[in-house]
Structure 1
């Protein structure tokens, strides 16, 4: 995807905002770890100005202490290390607001490696919510309910070499040594990536990116 491709995606998101008709639409951007989901979502939201807000799935990571209690800390990022049911409840609230008031969503702080509640404000007059994450298209457990809450779903599918390099670099940037980062990607992130890839067919649009298209996620 070149810059014209990004412009086309932005126009597609803008049409969703226009179609909200005084209500709200939800655009989901799915993809494997390191695909560039957060970068693409942020660019689209910035281009739409105050007409869109980014609500990341990663805000529903379970806290580190809870992952330790459950014995899942070494699999952080797998589907069962998120509060998927909580994410579904938030999407329902965002899609069908009961009152004309702001909704607050959590976000994930990569420096802390923890979710932070109440980080994202969604005002009642915002016509488009853009949400991004690995498991938006999974058809299993609570995740299976997410697809029905998205007006449109995109699957971001960059070149595998680009995605893995970007992912390792991100882990290094946030404190892991490069050998540790490479080991973590191979042991944890890549099995998750294969699971995510199995859900591609549930997307309305597959977006393929080259290695020059997006910056670091």
Structure 2
């Protein structure tokens, strides 16, 4: 996986291609030294004590930076001596095929809505497939994992090999309390959750989708408010507490909760 790292006085900027698109994120050196490195050290110790594969969840609402953070944690685990390298994978590879989403619908507020109009919501995922693969990983097997390509708008099967003793899985709904989803928590040895102000996440969502899609701003805002913000509220309001909670701040830094 291609990436680049730029070091400034107080920040580390991490650039990578994720889900088929280039992404850049900056992390404060304070958060790296006081949160991320100690977290990875803790996971190393947990895995040594367990003796088998350690499953870690990183759950967060849309636009909270979870995919890039998961990749950055993998980078840190490989580059810092004394840490144990981890694998990082995402649940977006379990999106149902886009053609299926076009041809199937659900009712929302009494109206029939094609699944493609709410892509990213829980019904647009292959939940059985998620259960099967995480169960396979938790048993310690070397296995393949799907990858979601935002350029193809479809998952690519068996794109990633999972082989390390610590596996970080990121996704929106890994800690969701809803039926079927809530059972995923049984596989996790350690859980992380990102929270943020919903209005701040809306701003990030609109900016990201406007840049990536090229669609008029009005259309982007309409989709974000109808689909993405429902998912934001669902993740923030209906997820289980985690072993570690991170706060995404308005300056795009991460910190621990203050209360």
Q: TM-score, normalised on structure 1?
A: 0.88
Question: How many residues align structurally?
Answer: 210
Q: 3-state DSSP class of the match of 1:202? A: coil
1:175 aligns with 2:217: no
Q: Return the structure number with greater relative CO, CA threshold 8 A, min gap 6.
A: 1
Q: Which of the residues 67, 82, 85 maps onto 1:51?
A: 85
Q: Which of the residues 232, 235, 239 maps onto 1:196?
A: 235
- Tell me, yes or no, if the aligned pair for 1:168 and 1:185 is still in contact at 8 Å: yes
Q: Deviations over 1:38-96 (max 9, x none)?
A: 12111111101171111101110001011112121111111010011211111111111
Q: CA deviation at 1:142?
A: 2.1
Root-mean-square deviation (CA, aligned residues, Å) is: 2.0
Q: CA deviation at 1:129?
A: 0.7
Q: Any gaps of 5 or more consecutive residues in structure 1?
A: none
1:69 aligns with 2:112: no
- Tell me, yes or no, if the aligned pair for 2:59 and 2:66 is still in contact at 8 Å: yes
- Tell me, yes or no, if the aligned pair for 1:13 and 1:27 is still in contact at 8 Å: no
Q: 3-state DSSP class of the match of 1:142? A: coil
Superposed, which structure 2 residues align to 1:95-134 within 5 Å?
Answer: 95-97=138-140, 99=141, 102-123=142-163, 126-134=164-172
Q: Deviations over 1:85-119 (max 9, x none)?
A: 2111111111112x5xx311001111121111111
- Tell me, yes or no, if the aligned pair for 2:173 and 2:239 is still in contact at 8 Å: no
Q: CA deviation at 1:158?
A: 2.6
Q: Which of the residues 59, 62, 71 maps onto 1:33?
A: 62
Residues 1:196 and 1:68: Cα distance change in structure 2 (over 3 Å): same
- The equivalent of 2:223 in structure 1 is 184
- The equivalent of 1:164 in structure 2 is 202
Which structure shows the higher helix fraction? 1
Which structure shows the higher strand fraction? 2
For 2:64 and 2:168, the matched residues in 1 are separated by: 16
For 1:194 and 1:10, the matched residues in 2 are separated by: 30
- Tell me, yes or no, if the aligned pair for 1:106 and 1:119 is still in contact at 8 Å: yes
For 2:206 and 2:37, the matched residues in 1 are separated by: 28
Q: 3-state DSSP class of the match of 1:197? A: helix
For 1:58 and 1:208, the matched residues in 2 are separated by: 22
Q: CA deviation at 1:30?
A: 0.9
